[in-house]
Structure 1
Amino acid sequence: MKILDRYLLKTFLVTFTTVFVILFFIFILQTIWLFIAELAGKDLDAGMVLKFITFSMPRIVPLVLPLSILLASIMTFGNLAENYEFAAMKSAGISLQRAIFPLSISIALLSIVAFLFANNVIPYAEYKFINFRKNIAQVQPALAITEGQFSDVGLYNIKVNKKSGENGNVLTGITIHKKSTTGDGSKTVIKAKDGELISSEKSSILKLELNNGNYYEDVTPKKYEDREKLPFAKSSFKKYTINIDLSELNKVDVDEENISNTNTMLNVNELNYTLDSLHKSFKNEVISFSENINIQTGFTSFVNDQTHKKDTIKKLKTIPKDLLSIFTKKEQQAILTNTLSNLVSTGYNIDATQVNLATKQKTINTHYLALYDKFVIAYACFLMFFIGAPLGAIIRKGGLGLPIVFAVFIFITFHFINTFGKRISQEDGLTPFLGAWMSSIVLTPLALLLTYRATNDIGLINLDVIFSPIQKLFKKLIKKQK
């Protein structure tokens, strides 16, 4: 490796490392802020908080890595151009392509590392992250409930005045609001003097045993005028047990869809296997639905005796315009009633199956997106370098001023298009491949354009293309007036 190659590589890597550490720290702070409600006021020791943050770190890398490469490349090549080091290289016969060649190899290696990281480390970290949160609630169930305020725990909002005991599992002054499944507010309130939380590491069910309390439930009368009296039912108990499913509790996340699905916890091989199973399930669902519809819509004879069937067949030798006319009035009424019932039933069946198939298709799409994302992050490293390096050489500005403005603008554009494409493809508006690769497809021409302009020493915007025709037009007008 020549001295120039070592110099460029060292300059870029130092800048990249510095930028990556700073941006990673900023994104970690954002993660802590998003999970502050889950961490604060629950008596977690420093070790548990550190584990929580450590398991959430790998998911930040796909955001930080491309942005760091983009900003580092703009700053590095902007400094070289600003200090006329590029001019010295060009005077020595070294082109821009030759200058960035060793860095291109480094970025290629970094892209491979990024793919391996996304394929192995991130799925493992997601698995550990979700299970760690689940274990916190199972081993120390009192952490899910905060003193003096209502805590959202599954289907219940729970408030306690005081927690005591070794693990805070003994509760005093308990008020519970049970959520309504119909979405019309809470109609059930449970109050108890004290209680105890009981859990097991082997089970995802949290048991809450209440002592000496009352159970209140609003009653909705059938008559509208009786509803103004706000009637309710009340019962007292000495002991009452509530079972809370902690698996529902662990689905609450900043990115709820990714947590509730398993696609983020799978590598490429596992995703391919899962997709094969999902496709088979979808195909079987379609075949089963079509067979059931054919059975439901088939013509059923209302007359079972063979004599009546023979008479009906004789009548059908000369088919009338109105087929119902070959039946009696009673049979016609039965046929029409049955047909209407079948139509209504088939309509409901079609609607329900349509929703079910749409859900299955959305699951398939999200797994495809998770598969393509592992390759997109590798390509994004290349893309951001070949946007940042020529852009820095063109603008000829280093430091954190203008480069960070360009970097943030380009990265926001990349991230917005990426998010937009994924949302559309999840709803089956685009193929998952286009949805995942849309941002890369849109920004690749920009990388090619900037590389071409930087190689040929053309500025970022050639104003002569705009003003030259206008100048020619003015010169012609002046000549005509003279």
Structure 2
Amino acid sequence: MKILDKYLLKTFLITFATVFVILFFIFILQTIWLFIAELAGKDLDFGLIIKFLLFSMPRIIPLVLPLSILLASIMTFGNLAENYEFAAMKSSGISLQRAMRSLTLFILLLSIVAFFFANNVIPFAEYKFINFRKNIAQLKPAMAITEGQFSDVGYYNIKVNKKSGENGNKLTGITIHKKSMNGDGSKTVIKAKNGELISSETSSVLQMILNDGNYYEDITPKKFSDRNKVPFAKSSFKKYTINIDLSQLNDVDVDKEKIANTNTMLTVNELNYTLDSLHKNFKTEVASYSENINLRTVIENKTYNDVANKELVKKRKTLPPDILSLYDNKKKSEILRTASSNLSSIGYSIDGSKINLQAKQKNINNHLLAFYDKFVIAFACIMMFFIGAPLGAIIRKGGLGLPIIFAVLIFISFHFMNTFGKRFAQENGISPFLGAWMSSFILTPLAILLTYRATNDIGLINMDIILAPLQKTLQKITQKFTTNKKQ
């Protein structure tokens, strides 16, 4: 390796490592902010919080890595151009392509590593992360209840004045509002002086044992006139046990992630196998439903057919345009009622099956997007380098000023197009392939254009194209103004 290659590689690696660490730290803070509700006030020790963050870190890499390459490329080549090092290279006969050769090899190697990271490490971390969030309540049952405020736990809103004990399982000053199954608010209140939380890692049930308390329940009379009296029942207890299903903890968040993110837990080979099964299942269900609908639309009541056949034999002529004329009014009414009922039933069946098939198609699209994403991140690393390196050579600015502005604008555009394409593909608006690669397809021409202009020493924008017409217009206005003034 020549001295020039070592110098460029060393300069780029130092800048890249610095930028990567800074951006990674920023995105980690964003992750903490997103999940602050699950971490704050849950009596989690430092080890569990670190474990939580470690499992969430790999998912940040697809965002941080391309942005780091883009910014490091702009800063490195911008510094070289700003300090006239490129001018010295070109005077020695070294072109931009030659200067980029060693870094191009490094970026290609980095993109391969990014692919294997996305294919192996991220799925494993995603699996651990989601299961950790699901089971954290069993590891720390007291996390379900926050001291001094009401906590929503399954069918209960629970407030405790103080928690104590090694794991915070000793409770004092307990107030519980039990949610109504009818969705009309809370009609049951339980108060107890103290209590205890008991759970097991092998059980999905959290037991809350209450001591010395009262049970209040509002009663809704059947007669509307008696409701103004607002009757209620009260009972006291020495010991009362409430069983809480731990699967209800973070029910919406965790369950949704299970459905939406199972595809992110799979490698390329596993996705191929899963997609094959999903496609076969989808086609089988469509064929089965089509056959079922076809059978349901056929008139199966042989009585009507027999009557029609007898009339045909008797009259020896073809069916009239109005087939109902073969029957009397009673039969007509019965046939119309049956047809209307069948149409309504088939309509409901079609609507239900449509929703079901759309959900299955969305699941297939999500798996396809996860499959393509593993290749997109590798290509994004290469593309961002071929955008950043020539852009830095053109703008001739290093440091953290102008390069950050360009990098942020380009990356926001990339991320927006990537998100938009995926959302559109999930709803079957476009193919998952196009949705996953949309941002790459749009920005690749920019990379080619910048590389071409930087190689041929052409500026980012030819200002003469913009300024020349303006200059001519100003000259004409000035000439007219001067002529009118002389007259």
Fold match by TM threshold 0.5:
yes
Structure 2 residue aligned with 1:413: 413
Structure 1 residue aligned with 2:383: 383
Q: Is the alpha carbon distance of 1:250 and 1:118 closer, same or farther for their aligned partners in structure 2, counting shifts above 3 Å?
A: farther
Q: Is the alpha carbon distance of 1:358 and 1:158 closer, same or farther for their aligned partners in structure 2, counting shifts above 3 Å?
A: farther
The question of 1:199 aligning with 2:199 is answered: yes
Separation in structure 1 between the aligned mates of residue 433 and residue 221 of structure 2, nearest angstrom? 51
Measured after TM superposition, the shift of residue 474 of structure 1 is 7.8
Structure 1 residue aligned with 2:217: 216
Structure 2 residue aligned with 1:149: 149
Contact 2:311 2:326 (8 Å CA) reproduced: yes
Separation in structure 1 between the aligned mates of residue 222 and residue 430 of structure 2, nearest angstrom? 49
Contact 1:302 1:331 (8 Å CA) reproduced: no
Structure 1: gaps spanning 5 or more residues = none
SS in 1 for 2:217: strand
What do residues 194-218 of structure 1 show as CA deviations (whole Å, max 9, x unaligned)?
5543433234343445565436367
SS in 1 for 2:68: helix
Separation in structure 2 between the aligned mates of residue 66 and residue 58 of structure 1, nearest angstrom? 14
Structure 1 residue aligned with 2:242: 241
Contact 1:177 1:186 (8 Å CA) reproduced: no
What do residues 241-276 of structure 1 show as CA deviations (whole Å, max 9, x unaligned)?
3342426626526x9557743111111111111111
Structure 1 residue aligned with 2:285: 285
Q: Which amino acid aligns with 1:408?
A: V
The question of 1:169 aligning with 2:185 is answered: no
Measured after TM superposition, the shift of residue 115 of structure 1 is 0.5
Contact 2:390 2:451 (8 Å CA) reproduced: yes
Structure 2 residue aligned with 1:186: 185
Measured after TM superposition, the shift of residue 446 of structure 1 is 0.8
Q: Which amino acid aligns with 1:384?
A: M
Structure 2 residue aligned with 1:439: 439
Measured after TM superposition, the shift of residue 173 of structure 1 is 3.9
Structure 1 residue aligned with 2:253: 252
Q: Which amino acid aligns with 2:385?
A: F
SS in 1 for 2:303: coil
Contact 2:215 2:235 (8 Å CA) reproduced: yes
Structure 2 residue aligned with 1:453: 453
Indicate the larger mover: 280-289 or 159-168.
159-168
SS in 2 for 1:21: helix
Indicate the larger mover: 412-421 or 159-168.
159-168
1:24-423 pair list within 5 angstroms? 24-178=24-178, 186-193=185-192, 194-209=194-209, 212-214=213-215, 216=217, 219=220, 229=228, 234=233, 236=235, 238=237, 239=240, 241-246=242-247, 249=250, 252=253, 257=257, 260-301=260-301, 303=303, 311-314=310-313, 317-318=316-317, 319-423=319-423
Q: Which amino acid aligns with 2:409?
A: F
Measured after TM superposition, the shift of residue 294 of structure 1 is 2.1
Q: Which amino acid aligns with 2:247?
A: L
Contact 2:56 2:129 (8 Å CA) reproduced: yes
Q: Is the alpha carbon distance of 1:83 and 1:151 closer, same or farther for their aligned partners in structure 2, counting shifts above 3 Å?
A: same
Measured after TM superposition, the shift of residue 427 of structure 1 is 1.0
Separation in structure 1 between the aligned mates of residue 479 and residue 142 of structure 2, nearest angstrom? 89
Contact 1:219 1:230 (8 Å CA) reproduced: no
Q: Which amino acid aligns with 1:186?
A: G
What do residues 17-73 of structure 1 show as CA deviations (whole Å, max 9, x unaligned)?
011011111111111122222112222221111111111111111111011000100
Measured after TM superposition, the shift of residue 396 of structure 1 is 0.5
**Cα RMSD (Å) of the superposition?**
3.1
Separation in structure 2 between the aligned mates of residue 365 and residue 346 of structure 1, nearest angstrom? 28
Separation in structure 1 between the aligned mates of residue 52 and residue 415 of structure 2, nearest angstrom? 26
Measured after TM superposition, the shift of residue 171 of structure 1 is 3.5
Q: Is the alpha carbon distance of 1:173 and 1:328 closer, same or farther for their aligned partners in structure 2, counting shifts above 3 Å?
A: farther
Contact 2:154 2:244 (8 Å CA) reproduced: no
Contact 1:190 1:215 (8 Å CA) reproduced: yes
Measured after TM superposition, the shift of residue 240 of structure 1 is 5.1
Separation in structure 1 between the aligned mates of residue 454 and residue 47 of structure 2, nearest angstrom? 50
Q: Is the alpha carbon distance of 1:234 and 1:296 closer, same or farther for their aligned partners in structure 2, counting shifts above 3 Å?
A: farther
% identity of equivalent residues: 65
Indicate the larger mover: 190-199 or 18-27.
190-199
SS in 2 for 1:5: helix
TM-score (norm 1): 0.89
Q: Is the alpha carbon distance of 1:479 and 1:451 closer, same or farther for their aligned partners in structure 2, counting shifts above 3 Å?
A: same
Measured after TM superposition, the shift of residue 479 of structure 1 is 11
What do residues 340-376 of structure 1 show as CA deviations (whole Å, max 9, x unaligned)?
1111111111111111111111111111111111111
Q: Which amino acid aligns with 1:202?
A: T
Q: Which amino acid aligns with 1:372?
A: Y
Indicate the larger mover: 172-181 or 352-361.
172-181
Q: Is the alpha carbon distance of 1:439 and 1:260 closer, same or farther for their aligned partners in structure 2, counting shifts above 3 Å?
A: closer
Separation in structure 2 between the aligned mates of residue 364 and residue 376 of structure 1, nearest angstrom? 18
SS in 2 for 1:303: helix
Indicate the larger mover: 411-420 or 313-322.
313-322
TM-score (norm 2): 0.89
Q: Is the alpha carbon distance of 1:28 and 1:476 closer, same or farther for their aligned partners in structure 2, counting shifts above 3 Å?
A: closer
Separation in structure 2 between the aligned mates of residue 222 and residue 65 of structure 1, nearest angstrom? 68
Indicate the larger mover: 297-306 or 121-130.
297-306
What do residues 367-399 of structure 1 show as CA deviations (whole Å, max 9, x unaligned)?
111111111110110111011000000010110
Separation in structure 2 between the aligned mates of residue 160 and residue 316 of structure 1, nearest angstrom? 87
SS in 2 for 1:404: helix
Contact 1:315 1:326 (8 Å CA) reproduced: no
Contact 1:171 1:195 (8 Å CA) reproduced: yes
Q: Which amino acid aligns with 2:434?
A: L
Separation in structure 2 between the aligned mates of residue 409 and residue 316 of structure 1, nearest angstrom? 82
Q: Which amino acid aligns with 1:314?
A: V
